[in-house]
Amino acid sequence: MRKHVVLAVLLLIALVLSACAQATPTQAPPAGEATQPPAAGEATQPPAAGGEKVTLIIESWRNDDLPIWQDVIIPAFEAKYPNIHVVFSPTAPAEYNGVLNSKLEAGTAGDLITCRPFDASLKLYEKGYLAPLNDLPGMENFTDFAKTAWSTDDLSVTFCVPMASVIHGFFYNKEAFDKLGLQEPTTWDEFYQVLDKIKADGTYIPLVMGTADMWEAATMGFQNIGPNYWKGEEGRLALIRGEAKFTDEPYIKTWQQLARWREYLPPGFESVKYPDAQALFTLGKGAVYPTGSWEIALFEKQASFPLGIFKPPVEKAGDQCYISDHVDIALGMNAATKHPEAAKTFLSWVASAEFAELYGNALPGFFPLHSTPVELKDPLAQEFVSWRNECKSTIRNSYHILSRGEPNLENELWRVSAAVINGTMTPEQAAQEIQAGLDKWYKPKP
Amino acid sequence: MSTTSKSRAFPTHIVVFLAPAVIVYTLFMIYPLIDSLRLSFFATGPDNKEYFVGLQNYVKLFTDSNYAPRFWGALKNNIVFFLVHMLVQNPIGLLLAALLASGGWGRKFYRTVLFMPTVLSFVIIGFIWNLILSPLWGVAESILKAVGLGALFRPWLGLESTALVTISLISVWQFVGIPMILFYAALIGIPEELIEAARVDGATGWQVFWRIKFPLILPTVGIVGILTFVGNFNAFDLIYTIKGALAGPNFSTDIMGTLFYRTFFGQQLQLGNPTMGATVAAMMFLIILSGVLIYMFLWQRRVQTVEM
């Protein structure tokens, strides 16, 4: 009897040990294999010889867009290049960065990588996972402004093909404006006159936004209306060069405007969340909604009233206007892809006007960054994009370079902007806290 | 069975029975815990490699103008969170248990209903309470208005002054079933003879409870206390589902769990910092460990379990 027990123990130990021992060799090869010719086990992707078909896999976080890629974009490409088969293989947005990093480290990532803007993709390029794409045919179709998000700091290397940006602005309920005889405001004075009239009437909530999730205060508030004060790119680059500070007048004025919004917001806005605010507006209970173009598809589907949009107000009529035209999504090439030629062919196509038109119309509110204007069919999207002709474009000032240290500028902007609207912090305090946080780690290069 | 062993043989069967638990526990609990403590003594250099830095991470956590206010703020909030549970959840749990133990109609029904929120997911609890307390669609305001107290309504979850206590009370609502069941089990274990004897001696219901029943369930009081302590200093889910990882407004609901999550995994544009995250985790471990030690040496040794 005892012998059996001893045997059982030995067996158990042997099992555990062998399991451990097996785990190591199976994990080791992928890392070392990158330099070797493809192993027999990886024959699922045939080499691109002669007329053989090549399969390209796209990594992405846009799982909402899967049907559009499968039904519209990829068939259009494959009709032109029958030798290349493309598979769109998205991951859940919140997991994307983590999953992609481990896939790249293990050498199992797809051939084409959807790029987040700025530092996340820059880090991938610095680690050698993304190939430089400077000489890619079609890259000349993009301005430096569009390429900033996926280039090294000195703009010498670009590693992703820009795909789309989102534009900030204000949506309004046309029915409410018509009923109350209101016009789209262009200056701050007009903006508050409009809000005052809506408030006096009492049927609608003048300005629909909550501060519970905090990011609305920063993204749809601060970054939306601020560029008119800090003069877009001029102010953003001055911050990076250290010539301007958050304690300067443009930034204080931006927060002062946000503080004025408080009296026009829905009751209990401190605990109103983003989906609450969206529902409140699309149910027709609100008049004006500060946000961005990404809402077009949802709002057009849910709102039963006609929608209008207007630009962030300026101080005086006729002032140069600036809009936040934030670059958001791009496509790069895995440096370890086995089909670099096919991948480049696809990327060149993504850089073409044809792709821009397909993409821009399939996803209204995500605007192609192509330098030749794209014909958009959605009227709201058209109006948003027309602002590019009148106003100067800029990006959110916390995304480029200034969010690389601790405390993180973007998170801090969420926190103080929400506190300013809630009335628990003054614009001056907000400015001081932001600048102090930035000074702690950021040393501008002379 | 005629096994009469002459000499004390090596107890192989003990090893066999212990082995699965020891192996699994070591692999999945002790090893990660020690490795996490090890990680807290390292920092990532510019070349993405880890370097040994001694206690530097801890110094940073306690003195850095970015980390220290967050750490002390989270610790303070966590203590408030714990006190609300100790002062509200556990007394209510005891009261409910005493009511249930006194028998009567509907006892089983109420026992189940009161315990139910405990088995619900945090996401559901967060969603339900967000809706109830919502200033736009919530029923809280209409209920208050119905009894003439509409003016008292505030967006409690969104105000810096009330958000933490509101979330603590939601957590109390969710978990009150656990102390209730533990107290209830202890109370119904008290022999009827003792209570009858006290009654015969002329004790009132109040006296019976405080002089007979309560001293007999003191060990359970200690267990409930330490379970609450460990649970509260490990808490994270409810605040994350209601307020997100930034634990707003203005960090007013930030506790150790959310601070750890934000530091370790990052948040939006903030990249994760595994070594500082491990430092926060190590502090959580030390706080919980010291709490448990205090319980074991100061409470458990004094309180005697009465055998009957």
Within 8 A of A218 by CB-CB distance, chain B residues are: none
In this structure, is residue B39 part of a structural domain? no
Q: What is the CA radius of gyration of chain B?
A: 25
A316, two tokens: 């005086």
In this structure, is residue B259 part of a structural domain? yes
Of the listed ranges A274-278, A295-299, B181-185, B229-233, the one predicted with least confidence:
A295-299
In this structure, is residue A339 part of a structural domain? yes
pLDDT at A51: 61
In this structure, is residue A256 part of a structural domain? yes
Q: For chain A, which residues lie within 8 Å of any Cβ of chain B, measuring from their own Cβ?
A: 2, 5-6, 8-9, 12, 16, 119-120, 127, 210-215, 266-273, 276, 280, 398-399, 403, 406-411, 414-415, 418-419, 422, 424-425, 437, 440
Q: What is the mean pLDDT of chain B?
A: 90
Q: Do A424 and B12 touch (CB under 8 A)?
A: no
Q: Do B135 and A406 touch (CB under 8 A)?
A: no
The total of structural domains in chain B comes to 1
The answer, for B151 touching chain A at a CB cutoff of 8 Å, is: no
- A266 and A221 assigned to the same domain: yes
- A334 and A319 assigned to the same domain: no
In this structure, is residue A46 part of a structural domain? no
pLDDT tens, position by position, A101-113: 778 878 899 999 9
pLDDT tens, position by position, B125-144: 999 999 999 999 999 999 99
| Biggest distance spanned by C-alpha atoms of chain B | 84
- CA contacts within 13 A on the Cβ side of B108: 0
Higher-confidence residue of A429 and A445: namely A429
- A318 and A342 assigned to the same domain: no
- pLDDT-based confidence at residue B6 (cuts at 50, 70, 90): low
**Do A320 and A392 meet the contact criterion of CB atoms below 8 Å apart?**
yes
What percentage of chain B has pLDDT greater than the value 90? 76
pLDDT at B308: 55
Whether residue A354 has pLDDT greater than 70: yes
In this structure, is residue B247 part of a structural domain? yes
Whether residue A38 has pLDDT greater than 50: no
What is the distance in angstroms between the Cα of A76 and the nearest Cα belonging to chain B? 34
The answer, for B251 touching chain A at a CB cutoff of 8 Å, is: yes
d(CA A313, CA A245) in angstroms, rounded, equals 23
- pLDDT-based confidence at residue B214 (cuts at 50, 70, 90): very high
In this structure, is residue B27 part of a structural domain? no
DSSP label of A172: E
Indicate the SS3 state at residue B160. Answer: coil
pLDDT at B275: 92
What is the distance in angstroms between the Cα of A420 and the nearest Cα belonging to chain B? 10
Within 8 A of B153 by CB-CB distance, chain A residues are: 268
- A237 and A320 assigned to the same domain: yes
**Structural domain boundaries enclosing A261:** 167-325+394-441
- A292 and A223 assigned to the same domain: yes
- A156 and A268 assigned to the same domain: no
Whether residue A95 has pLDDT greater than 70: no
User: Which stretches of A340-441 are DSSP H helices?
Assistant: 340-350, 353-362, 379-390, 409-422, 427-441
- A303 and A334 assigned to the same domain: no
Of the listed ranges A63-72, A73-82, A275-284, B254-263, the one predicted with least confidence:
A63-72
Higher-confidence residue of A102 and B55: namely B55
Within 8 A of A408 by CB-CB distance, chain B residues are: 267-270
Average pLDDT, integer, range A187-191? 96
The answer, for B7 touching chain A at a CB cutoff of 8 Å, is: no
In this structure, is residue B211 part of a structural domain? yes
Of B20, B66, B270, the CB nearest to A440: B66
In this structure, is residue B188 part of a structural domain? yes
Peptide bond into A427 cis (omega under 30): no
In this structure, is residue B114 part of a structural domain? yes
Within 8 A of A414 by CB-CB distance, chain B residues are: 246, 248, 268
Of A119, A270, A408, the CB nearest to B158: A270
Of A211, A273, A440, the CB nearest to B65: A440
pLDDT at A48: 43
Higher-confidence residue of A61 and A430: namely A430
**Structural domain boundaries enclosing B174:** 64-300
Closest alpha carbon to A287 in A421, A169, A177: A177
The answer, for B159 touching chain A at a CB cutoff of 8 Å, is: yes
Within 8 A of B156 by CB-CB distance, chain A residues are: 271
In this structure, is residue A433 part of a structural domain? yes
Residue type present at position A259: A
- pLDDT-based confidence at residue A27 (cuts at 50, 70, 90): very low
Of B16, B130, B246, the CB nearest to A214: B246
Q: What is the mean pLDDT of chain A?
A: 86
Q: For residue B253, how far is the Cα from the chain centroid?
A: 16
What is the distance in angstroms between the Cα of A271 and the nearest Cα belonging to chain B? 4
- A226 and A120 assigned to the same domain: no
In this structure, is residue B153 part of a structural domain? yes
The total of structural domains in chain A comes to 2
Q: Given the structure tokens 């970054």, which residue do they identify?
A: A223
- A130 and A141 assigned to the same domain: yes
CATH number at residue A243: 3.40.190.10
Q: What is the DSSP string of A279-291?
A: HHHHTT-EEEEEE
Task: Give the C-alpha distances (Å, rounded to integers) separating B264 from B39, B40, B300.
Answer: 12, 11, 35
- A150 and A255 assigned to the same domain: no
What is the distance in angstroms between the Cα of A426 and the nearest Cα belonging to chain B? 13
pLDDT tens, position by position, B258-306: 999 999 877 777 777 889 999 999 999 999 999 999 998 888 777 766 6
The residue in chain A having the minimum alpha-carbon distance to the alpha carbon of residue B3 is: A1
Average pLDDT, integer, range A321-341? 93
CATH number at residue B226: 1.10.3720.10
Within 8 A of A212 by CB-CB distance, chain B residues are: 157-158, 243, 248-249
pLDDT at A43: 38
pLDDT at B305: 62
Average pLDDT, integer, range A345-364? 91
What is the distance in angstroms between the Cα of A440 and the nearest Cα belonging to chain B? 9
- A171 and A87 assigned to the same domain: no
Task: Give the C-alpha distances (Å, rounded to integers) separating A366 from A168, A300, A428.
Answer: 11, 15, 35
Q: Do B271 and A119 touch (CB under 8 A)?
A: yes
Q: How far apart are the first and last CA of chain B?
A: 35
